[in-house]
Amino acid sequence: MPPPNEDFVAVAGGYYHSLGLKEITTSIEDEGLSANSLLISSICPNPFTMSSSIVFQSPGVSQVGLEVYDTAGRLVRTEDLGSSPAGQHSVSWDGRDASGAELSPGIYFIRLVSAEEEVSAKVVIMR
């Protein structure tokens, strides 16, 4: 891409205008994330109405737990996912709290916790 205001001309209403062009960053390199980190790869669908699949990467054999928080910071659901070997895993969440009641539509935070680290992501329930 040429530097701004070089090699481009626009004509509008009979007048010449130079254009200032600049590159747009389309991605951000994740720093600190590696194959040795617990990582939420995707939550799909998001938003969801019935259930959502949480895909995550586990760096090695470790106990992993799923926690769901509402926007007030209240823990509304926990689930022990057991021992997760290294690799990709998936767990489904049905949008219900610990007692099995449907949660209200809104924003919730999924948190995966292991002995070494924790990661979180936002999920939206629509009913």
Rg (CA), the chain: 22
Report the C-alpha gap between 88 and 13 in whole angstroms.
58
- Give me the CATH topology for the region 39-125: Immunoglobulin-like (2.60.40)
Q: What is the pLDDT of residues 59-108, one digit of tens each?
A: 888 899 999 999 999 999 999 999 989 999 999 999 999 999 999 999 99
| Every domain of the chain and the residues it spans | 39-125
Does the pLDDT value for residue 119 go beyond 70? yes
pTM score of the predicted model: 0.71
pLDDT at 20: 60
Asked if residue 54 lies in contact with residue 106, where contact means CB atoms within 8 angstroms, the answer is no
Burial class (CB in 10 A: 0-12, 13-18, 19+), 96: middle
Q: What is the pLDDT of residues 17-45, one digit of tens each?
A: 555 655 666 655 555 545 678 999 999 99
**Token couple for 90:** 């998936």
Q: Which residues contact 13 (CB under 8 A, 6 or more apart)?
A: none
pLDDT at 45: 96
The phi and psi torsions of 27 (rounded to 5 degrees) equal -155, 160
